[in-house]
Structure 1
Amino acid sequence: MAANYADIIKEAENIAIIGCSANRYRTSYHIASYLRDNGYRIIPVNPNYDEVLGLPCYDTMNDIPEKYSVDIVDIFRDSQYTAEMVQQIIDWSKNNGQKPVIWTQLDVSSKEAEELAKEAGFRYVKNECLMVQHEKST
């Protein structure tokens, strides 16, 4: 399914970021900061941190409180882990009925991850930078 990035970005309010880092020199930190500064609620997901950007950081998607809806899950993990992350999103979705767009950053997608997402009925954005697409759409 072809993605209309501008529509996805415009409709989103809450973005979970898997692999979000508290290290200000990491790309995920920079993009999370940019998205937060542009009005999105950021939900960091990374078992290595208790908080990122002053926000609670959750170990897995299943640890995100049910009070949060998630519109996009942005993945910042090495491509060898992406299918595992997509499966985590699918399992999380079964528990709460949400079907966020799965967005993979540059060089993060894998064929297995994309197939898992599509078989489960998720919109899947492959190897695109969310910040760059946001800048293009504004």
Structure 2
Amino acid sequence: MSADDPTTSGESTDVEGRIDELLDAETVAVVGCSTTPEKAAHRIPKYLQEHGYRIVPVNPYAETVLGEPAYDAVTEVPREVTIDVVDVFRPSEDVPGVVDDVLERRDLAGDVGGLWLQLGIRNGEAAARAEAAGVAVVQDRCMKVEHERLR
């Protein structure tokens, strides 16, 4: 089975419920958060920040993004920062490594209840592994678009 096989989507059939649940987050760690204002990986976290979410940038090439300290990996975010959702702006083939970090973070800090893969990003096997560990997963959807639609 391929990572894009819908039979291994790793996403609940109640996608709308998952989306609604994850939009209730307070703190969103953004893997691949960009320092470049023209990129979606900057514009979308900025929109979320402007709408009350705390953004925790994960970008090993930046010291700060959107006025917040950037971290090299989700596992490097201090434990006193509770991460509700990890929003991913990385290629689909990078998702298994992100899931590894999310699961390690859950073991260390007991947080990260959701994994959001942005438009065009999908990895069914990695998402299924995250869901099996109790992480709510949304794939191939834009968090900004869903926020505008539902909030």
Give the TM-score of the pair, scaled to structure 2: 0.86
Contact kept, 8 Å, 1:16 with 1:43, in 2: the verdict is yes
Runs of 4+ in 1 over 2 A off after TM superposition: none
State yes or no: 1:96 paired with 2:112: no
Higher normalized contact order (CA 8 Å, seq sep 6+, divided by chain length): 2
RMSD: 1.1
Aligned-partner residue type, residue 44 of structure 1 = P
The residue number in structure 1 matching 2:138 is: 125
State yes or no: 1:65 paired with 2:78: yes
What whole-Å deviation, never above 9, does each CA across 1:36-55 have from its counterpart, x for those lacking one? 00011000001011110111
- Distance in 2 between the 1:12 and 1:52 partners? 20
Query: Please, which runs of 5 or more residues in structure 2 have no aligned partner?
Result: 1-11
- Distance in 1 between the 2:106 and 2:21 partners? 22
Deviation at 1:121, TM superposition (A): 1.8
Deviation at 1:109, TM superposition (A): 1.5
- Distance in 1 between the 2:40 and 2:100 partners? 24
The residue number in structure 2 matching 1:40 is: 53
Structure 2 counterpart SS, 1:15: strand
Give the TM-score of the pair, scaled to structure 1: 0.94
Contact kept, 8 Å, 2:30 with 2:87, in 1: the verdict is yes
Deviation at 1:99, TM superposition (A): 3.4
- Distance in 1 between the 2:130 and 2:124 partners? 10
After TM superposition, the structure 1 = structure 2 runs for residues 7-46 of structure 1, keeping only pairs within 5 Å, are 7-9=21-23, 11-46=24-59
The percent of aligned pairs where both chains have the same amino acid is 33
Contact kept, 8 Å, 1:87 with 1:116, in 2: the verdict is no
State yes or no: 1:6 paired with 2:20: yes
**Number of paired residues?**
137
- Distance in 1 between the 2:22 and 2:106 partners? 18
Deviation at 1:108, TM superposition (A): 1.1
Query: Please, which runs of 5 or more residues in structure 1 have no aligned partner?
Result: none
